[in-house]
Amino acid sequence: MTEHVITVTEELVKPIADEMNLELVDVEFTQEGNNFFLRVYIDSPRGVDIEECGVVSEKLSEQLDKQDPIEQPYFLEVSSPGAERPLKKPSDFEKVVGKQIYMTTYEKIDGEKSFEGKLVNFDGETVVVEQKVKTRTITVEVPYDKVASARLAVVF
């Protein structure tokens, strides 16, 4: 059910985002308490503003009403992914080489399952991160298929 809603929503919102020169970052369909939420995250190199989120929300809402893929009542939220945007696809990693990321893995790599540091390279198969460990910098190579989750990391 959830995967179907996400797939249909992605198919409906992608042309809307493309028309507005926006990137579809992610779609989530979750239940929180008794309420269901359909969350759509959009972005662009210059960021997105509330007006763009409103336009996407209106157009997507019209399409969802026509297709009607969700049986129960739900709340539609369209927003920016924020400063710590998730990295879901290989192209997401390619775009942020040189930036700080936080990443977890399905299994231990060099004795660890979480990594935070500078993404120094991504070749489609291996994520290479430089991270500080006390006073030294180490380089960790993580196979892309072992990445459980990743996001940009805000550094203060």
Report the pLDDT averaged over residues 109-128: 94
Q: Which two tokens stand for residue 46?
A: 């210059």
The pLDDT of residue 23 is 92
Q: What strand order describes the sheet that includes 35-43?
A: 23-32, 35-43, 75-79
The confidence band for 57, taking pLDDT boundaries of 50, 70 and 90, is very high
User: How would you class 93 by CB atoms within 10 Å of its CB: exposed for 0-12, middle for 13-18, buried for 19 or more?
Assistant: buried
| Cα separation, 103 vs 138, whole angstroms | 15
Q: Are 76 and 64 in contact (CB under 8 A)?
A: yes
In the 8-state DSSP scheme, what is residue 89?
A: S
pTM of the model: 0.79
pLDDT at 16 over 90: yes
Please state, in angstroms and rounded to a whole number, the distance separating the CA atoms of residues 98 and 93: 10
Contact in structure between 150 and 102 (CB atoms under 8 Å):
yes
